[in-house]
A and B are shown apart, each in its own frame.
Chain A
């Protein structure tokens, strides 16, 4: 196993975060990050589908003809999404009631097809699993951060639990789509600022090492 590749694949979800860097899957992100609970569970559902689809597509990458790869990927992803949808419907009806419509929309989430096409179709099962996990976690964490902040600012709660008292003014705009865009923009700026700062620091350290 290539240690460097494992490391880069594992960090892919952070370095190429689907939300803050690649800006993929923004539609469900805007709609379902008004509360941490729905954001978290949508992230979990996406994570499961992403990991499973990456693994399956990687397993079948040598069997699937090039010309029909996209229909094949879509069938696989749609099947997995339907399985997740049925599972949530059966075992977590309260959560399903919250995010049900957006679970089915995972089929058309760009991240899934993008990872299938760009990674799983040309990498081994292990790497594909790691990539799915990494990207899925990146998506889950991004959704959760957005959901937590938007819920806190608009209601004073996190995961339905009152955190801020009545003294805190409720910024209901953050429960709206416009507030979602604003918060996404702010977080993207923050993320990229931190990321570029880290990169710059590393570059500086590398230069210093070379100078030594």
Chain B
């Protein structure tokens, strides 16, 4: 029994030690065999220049080259791992020569040079494409390449023009290598069409006032460079922007469906979703982007409110008074904006040309206007908008009954300007006469606090949906809303 236990213990110890040793070796000496996608012909040429057998094209975005550098490859295995191979092109009067030049990053010497391919414009000089004086550059220092050297060395074919073009290509490769060495070494692996983003939900159905759940599927293409299905080897980061500004998102990985879910509040505007995948060693990167616009949303109202609160990213229409033709909006930051909508614009001699909606935000601390924005709705004819300078006249203006502002003499949009003044005046009268000030007193609330208040007030506007509140449009809940808000005030 004792012997049996001893045998088991020794065997186990040896096995465990073996596992540790192998795991360590595998970690440090792991060979990345996932790089595929370089054509066989090119790979063989690259192999002939170095002692490596695996290569990857690197992403040269952001690196400025002089001359024609078609691509840059990096050796990824062997003792020359990290060697850079420049793929350059030179033109001569009767054709094009494309060269591959390999550089050893440790001493900046040229490991090898070869012609990848060439195109001839005429058959007259066929023999001139026989230049083979690659050996001239082998072992040369990248910083001291003399383009003329190769011409005299090409005694085999006497193809001086071709040799000159080859020399120019190698010189360009050397110059670009020397100038960009650090950036090229640090550059990630290039990947074309590596990731594919799919938004499964029909975009037209995305409303600004509901929580949108996107299903973004990240997949690799046929030229598989990375095993994206194995989430443990990769990280995928999503960035969502709305009109250029970043939106907070929550990401979840579904290991069964191999799908990422991204979750965020949807609002109107132009969205760009960027997915960036990176291997754990950060050497392989890939990204893809999808852009779309959320429709079914009053972008004009959004822009008008943005002119008052520039930081606004989302707005919610929370209350409509159809009798007096007023609406209330709340922004994502919790700011309350009132609007007088459907103000008809009629120009002399032209008749009815459209409608206008004025947006007013009030600072209840001193009863002044935070600002006024305007949205114009044409109906068959152009509506001339008032100048921003005209709108700025309302900024910090005291909220007084029958407020009058001078017409817009700057842009000469006199009819529109007048209608805007009328709309603001309508609002100020409504605001003062109906003692609706309580609605604005809660202006410092956050969006969720404001929505909670609606729910607590029982006005039925805010409906809790998970962690968020889903809002219903156009509810006739004015009194209840006012009552709820006044409780806060």
Contacts and interface: CB of A to CB of B under 8 A. Distances in A.
Contact of B53 (A79, A82, A97): A97
Interface stretch (B25-33, B104-112, B421-429): B25-33
Interface in B81-115: none
Contacts of A97: 53
A71 B10 CA distance: 11
Interface in A66-122: 67-68, 71-72, 75-76, 78-79, 82-83, 86-87, 89-94, 97
Interface stretch (B13-21, B342-350, B361-369, B399-407): B13-21
Contact of A72 (B3, B14, B31): B14
A72 B78 contact: no
A64 interface: yes
Contact of A68 (B11, B30, B54, B79): B11
B22 interface: yes
Nearest to B3: A65
A45 B304 CA distance: 76
Contact of A65 (B6, B31, B52, B77): B6
Given A68-B10, A71-B11, A92 B18 contact: no
Contacts of A68: 7, 10-11
A71 to B, nearest CB: 6
Contacts of B14: 60, 64, 72, 75-76
Contacts of A78: 18
Given A89-B29, A93-B54, A93-B77, A83 B22 contact: yes
Interface residues of A, number: 23
A72 B10 contact: yes
Contacts of A93: 31, 51-54, 77-78
Given A65-B7, A97-B53, A92 B78 contact: yes
A83 B7 contact: no
Nearest to A68: B7
A63 interface: yes
A53 to B, nearest CB: 12
A79 B21 contact: yes
A58 B346 CA distance: 104
A75 B18 contact: yes
A90 B11 contact: no
Contacts of A83: 21-22, 25
Interface string A165-204: 0000000000000000000000000000000000000000
A68 B10 CA distance: 9
Nearest to B53: A93
B219 to A, nearest CB: 29
B39 to A, nearest CB: 19
Contacts of A72: 10-11, 14
A87 B11 contact: no
A77 to B, nearest CB: 10
Given A78-B18, A83-B21, A83-B22, A90 B3 contact: no
Nearest to A94: B51
Nearest 5 pairs of A and B residues by beta carbon: A90-B29, A79-B18, A68-B7, A93-B53, A65-B7
16 contacts: A68-B11, A72-B10, A75-B11, A75-B14, A75-B15, A76-B18, A79-B17, A79-B22, A83-B25, A86-B31, A87-B25, A87-B29, A90-B29, A91-B78, A92-B79, A93-B52
